Amino acid sequence: PIFQNLSTNNRNKLPILCMRCNCAILSPNVASFVDAKPFSLPFCRQAKNSTSINRFYECYRWQVERMFDFENIGFTHARDGVKYLICANCEDGPVGYLCPVTKAHFVAVCRLNMLPLRSKAVVESSYH
């Protein structure tokens, strides 16, 4: 399904949204799709008494060159030299990371939704 939503220049055709609060993270045609060697992100939820951080590996990601290209993103404090990206609205994450070498931002495809935005009238009526 992800490949259907790519433009001819491998960019996102649709807005990219937070999975938890549905807030827009990226506007259309801002992020480039990357299929590269796997990178690891910590799981959103960790076991309370665990001494290690559980992680998962993802190959598919969106690459965003500049911080100001995001609609809504937050950053964690650096851990082992890496800053993680979170939704600035609900603080869910990490959804990606800031590469300490290239300064490019990478967002995991599996941590965000790519959906067409509904009209404001439809969104408002769903809450009443």
Q: What is the pLDDT of residues 35-63, one digit of tens each?
A: 877 666 765 555 567 666 655 556 578 89
**1-33: per-residue pLDDT in tens?**
566 778 888 999 999 999 889 999 999 999 999
Query: What token pair was written down for 118?
Result: 């509904």
What average pLDDT does this structure show over 117-122? 44
DSSP class of residue 88? T
How far apart are alpha carbons 98 and 41 in whole angstroms?
11
Mean pLDDT, the chain, rounded, equals 78
Distance separating alpha carbons of residues 76 and 30, to the nearest angstrom: 22
pTM score, whole prediction: 0.75
Cβ-based neighbours of 118, under 8 Å, separated by 6 or more: none
∠ CA 104-107-112, nearest 5°, is: 160
- Structurally, at CATH architecture level, domain 2-42+54-115 sits in Beta Complex (2.170)
119 pLDDT higher than 60 = no
Between 96 and 117, name the one with better pLDDT. 96
3-state DSSP helix/strand/coil % of the chain, to nearest 5: 10, 40, 50
Can you give the pLDDT at residue 4?
Answer: 72
